[in-house]
A and B are shown apart, each in its own frame.
Chain A
Amino acid sequence: MADDHGDTAGSTAAGKDVEKHGAPAHSAGTAVVATDEVPNPGFLPHRPRVTDLDPKVDKQQERRVSMLFVLSIVGSVLAVVAYFAFPIEPGNMQSVRNNTLFLGLGITLGLLGIGVGAVHWSKALMQGHDLVEQRHGTRGSEETRAKAIEVFTLGNKDSGFGRRTLLRNTLIGALVVTPLPAIVLFRDLAPAEDPVGLLKHTYWEKGMRLTRDPSGTPIKASDLTIGSAFQVIPEGLNDSEHRIEEKAKAAVLLVRLKPEDLQVSEGREDWNYDGIVAYSKICTHVGCPVALYEQQTHHLLCPCHQSQFDIKREAAVIFGPAKRPLPQLPITVDSEGYLIAKSDFEEPVGPSFWERQL
């Protein structure tokens, strides 16, 4: 229990005997056990506060604390007043701001008044000098420990837990196996299909028109000037059942370059239409939309982790943590001059996953 330190100042200077009380001495490890320590000088003489000495100051501080508590009451009442005095008018942003501000300031005053008052009370008026409490080793006393061991020994003897090894081992085995059904139960967190198949296909199909995101209006090749970029979704995506899931795979960026600026690899010669190319907008790193198009350099930048892709070189990675180029959507035009997909993407779009190759 706590003592006024006047009584104990002498004994506390003795040193580090916290571990004693019956327990074997603990190893100090590689600590240097000092033989010639500077002795602890004991407590500083107590210095009274001004409130301890001057009753007038004491009274003044008391008034100050109660003023703070009164201020708190005022704050809480003001908060209630503000709730009604600053209602939210639909569509009026200023009213939302005022409601938040004045309600908040009232509550703040209500809370800070109590808080500052209580702390000030404690510091200025409550008993002011330090008290001392002795520590005891965390370890239980030898007697208690012996009792605890006895409890376990009796438990073991009465149950035969240590002796009947067959019982014990089969019980442990049973306990290990019981959680298995719980793991299996979580299978239906997702539908029955295999995710790998789903990840390999998108909404795009042969002949599907490229349309503007989000309006869904089709795009003519002649709508694109050199250097311009369009955010594109497949025709009909807005009405599809899984609009957002499909969009997370099918979003495409459409760009027009001078045909001679494009480096086209073998087999992709007819994937662009007169310099118009379409690339998946989903980053091959962790799937953010690669939304920033730099008109002069024809680079695409992912704002999440700064992977950069070069449209001139079939969206090859030129910087950042992504490894694979953005997949290209083969496109052409239909009889009316609208841009259409020649097929789905030929590889999975978006972030890499384990079974990507299979």
Chain B
Amino acid sequence: MTTTPTQDAQPKTRGQRFTGAAANYIDERTSISGLVKEVGRKIFPDHWSFMLGEVALYSFIVILLSGTFLTFFFEASMVEVHYEGSYAPLKGIEMSAAMASTLDISFDIRGGLLMRQVHHWAALLFVASIGLHMLRVYFTGAFRKPREINWFIGFVLFVLAMAEGFTGYSLPDDLLSGNGLRIIDGMVKGIPVIGTWISYLLFGGEFPGIDIVSRLYILHIMLLPAIIIAAIGIHMLLLVINKHTQFAGPGRTNDNVVGSPVMPGFAAKAGGFFFIVFGVITLIASTFSINPVWVYGPYDPSPVSAGTQPDWYIGFADGALRLVPPGWETEWFGFTWSFNIIAPLVILGLFIAIVAFYPFIEAWITGDKREHHIADRPRNAPTRTAIGAAGVTFYAVLWAAASSDLIATHFKLSIEGVIHSCQALLIFGPIIAYFITKRVCLGLQKKDREIALHGYESGRIVRLPHGEYIEVHEQLSEYERWKLVSYTDYKPLMIRPNDQGRITFGQRLRASASRWFFEDRIAPVSQQEIEQSKDEHH
């Protein structure tokens, strides 16, 4: 079990004696030395893109801290009050207690506005950094075995982060968030069979009722954070068990991790980075206002301001609603089928389902059951990268469509033109992005191959004795070359009959998926090719 730290022969200073005694006290009660031994010198590889997940984690901590402060003052109630705070333009106006307490936090509590803005900016950063972190993991193939489950947990965290964002910005019960809830209500009502009742139960009666803010509040400050914290815990635990991926580099292999140890290098960098993230959020929050609810005023079902925008991460869903062509609603069997709502819900559902299950799909296609710890350079998996680019384009078009009215007014275009362009882009954009990306990847792979074999063009032109001009190619060092030649290469699946001599449908499906993925491939340079190219050059 526990081991008592052995005493050195040398005399110790008072500080050392105290540290030793304290460590001993704790270890004899917790056996913590085992944990320290296990993780204290764990190695973390270094790359700027590995910080994106850290930004997400740290902004979440900032959200917890600032949010806790806000709960001490916020009143999650829709009871009608007359505002009597110090913001003159709204004095005497009827509003909910939620809105009034939000105004009090902003205008009557020192640092209250700062904390509200820290909370909101940190939330925006939280969702953004999770999104970028997911893109990094996707494009480098870091979701492959053994990390498929951790990808899925990360995906769940992304959805939860958006849910936190939406429940959070609905709380002040201002005009903008009220209209957001109105849209949610309308969407829910459009769901076949259960929609009307779900909306009725959610709002505790007819929209907007007097319950929704307190209900969202309990989700926002208790249920969702609890699930997020648990999911982050599992996410981190699996990270420690799987160890971090690393990019290919000299000396780095699939069975080692190269980087700095937790104690002290990584801890100092990561700990310091937490303070930097917190500091930058505070700097933004103290200089840029966000969600000025006092400008919007309290919720009223009748007015709405032009150019209403949801927070950016909800944009893709709002855009999907906007891009539905006219007339997608019908009555069958005496019921109303709102395809203008069902279609976006189904399409978005499919989209996020593909995101959630992509690692399992790719694993099925490659049939590769080995562990992968070397992160791919995106170009070395051209089809995956192209699919990613198509997905990003699809998301980006939906997202841009959520600002269709602002695009139209800012660039002096007709709203119809903007919507029709977005509709066309939604279908053709991903296809175009797919093909361009795939070609660019293959082109880059060819270039890598060329450079690995023949070196790079030095720009030095030499005239040979017999009059020929050549450009001298500088060879790479073996360290530089390693990055270009070490990647996993796949070829399409060959269909073979099974034991009964039959070719199953699943086999055919997998073969065609495999052909789609790996038909165009550039093989990595082999040692023999390098030897040959050396002979050619000399």
Contact = CB atoms under 8 A, between A and B. Distances in A.
Interface of A: 1-2, 5, 8-9, 12-19, 26-32, 34, 36-44, 83, 87-88, 90-91, 96, 99-101, 103-105, 107-112, 114-123, 126-127, 130-135, 137-138, 186-187, 189-191, 195-196, 198-199, 213-214, 231, 233, 242, 244-245, 247-249, 251, 281-283, 285-289, 291-292, 301, 303-306, 317-324, 350-358
B416 A233 contact: no
A130 B260 contact: yes
Interface in B181-237: 182-183, 185-187, 189-197, 199-209, 211
B131 interface: no
Q: Considering residues B110, B187, B190, B207, which has the most beta carbons from chain A within 10 angstroms of its beta carbon? A: B110
B255 A355 contact: no
Interface SS of A by simple majority = loop
Contact of A287 (B185, B280, B318, B405): B185
B353 to A, nearest CB: 23
Given A131-B260, A285-B340, A288-B183, A30 B492 contact: yes
Given A13-B251, A287-B207, A357 B334 contact: yes
B253 A40 contact: yes
Interface stretch (B6-14, B134-142, B481-489, B499-507): B481-489
Contacts of B485: 38
Contact of B106 (A17, A37, A44, A96): A96
Interface stretch (B383-391, B438-446, B466-474, B521-529): B521-529
22 contacts: A2-B41, A15-B253, A18-B255, A27-B370, A29-B490, A36-B526, A38-B482, A100-B111, A100-B286, A104-B282, A119-B276, A120-B272, A121-B272, A127-B264, A138-B241, A187-B201, A198-B206, A287-B207, A289-B179, A289-B304, A353-B199, A354-B189
A123 B269 CA distance: 8
Given A31-B490, A131-B258, A135-B373, A304 B179 contact: yes
A318 to B, nearest CB: 8
A320 B326 contact: yes
A164 B26 CA distance: 47
A306 B481 contact: no
B324 interface: yes
Contact of A101 (B192, B260, B287): B287
A321 to B, nearest CB: 4
A304 B183 contact: yes
Contacts of B261: 2, 131
Contact of B251 (A43, A90, A355): A43
B35 to A, nearest CB: 14
B283 A105 contact: yes
A18 B254 contact: yes
B101 interface: no
A245 B208 contact: yes
A135 to B, nearest CB: 5
B302 A289 contact: yes
B306 A292 contact: yes
Contact of B183 (A90, A109, A287): A287
Q: Point out which of B211, B277, B287 has the most chain A C-beta atoms below 10 A from its C-beta.
A: B287
B301 A289 contact: yes
B368 A30 contact: yes
Interface string B309-325: 00000000010011111
Central interface residue in A12, A29, A91, A105, by most chain B CB within 10 Å: A29
A103 B114 contact: yes
Given A104-B283, A195-B200, A303 B307 contact: yes
Contacts of A186: 201
B45 to A, nearest CB: 8
Contact of A32 (B325, B367, B523): B523
A23 B276 CA distance: 44
B161 interface: no
Contacts of A323: 326-329, 338, 340
A126 B268 contact: yes
Contact of A30 (B183, B251, B493): B493
B306 A286 contact: no
B358 interface: no
A320 B418 CA distance: 12
B186 A285 contact: yes
Given A118-B272, A289-B303, A30 B371 contact: no
A17 B257 contact: no
Given A114-B272, A322-B340, A36 B285 contact: no
A30 B490 contact: yes
Interface in B318-367: 318, 321-329, 331, 334-336, 338, 340-341, 366-367
Contacts of A306: 322, 404-405, 415, 419
Contacts of A91: 86-88
A104 B285 contact: yes
Contacts of B252: 12, 40
Given A31-B489, A351-B190, A105 B301 contact: no
A150 to B, nearest CB: 23
Contacts of B197: 195
B269 A29 contact: no
Contacts of B190: 286, 351-353
Interface in B68-94: 86-88
A17 B370 contact: no
A240 to B, nearest CB: 12
Contact of A44 (B250, B280, B300): B250
Contacts of B280: 108, 112
B305 interface: yes
Nearest to B96: A244
Contacts of A19: 370-371
Which of B299, B335, B404: most chain A CB closer than 10 A? B335
B302 A303 contact: no
Contacts of A16: 253-255, 370
Contacts of A245: 205-209
A5 B258 contact: yes
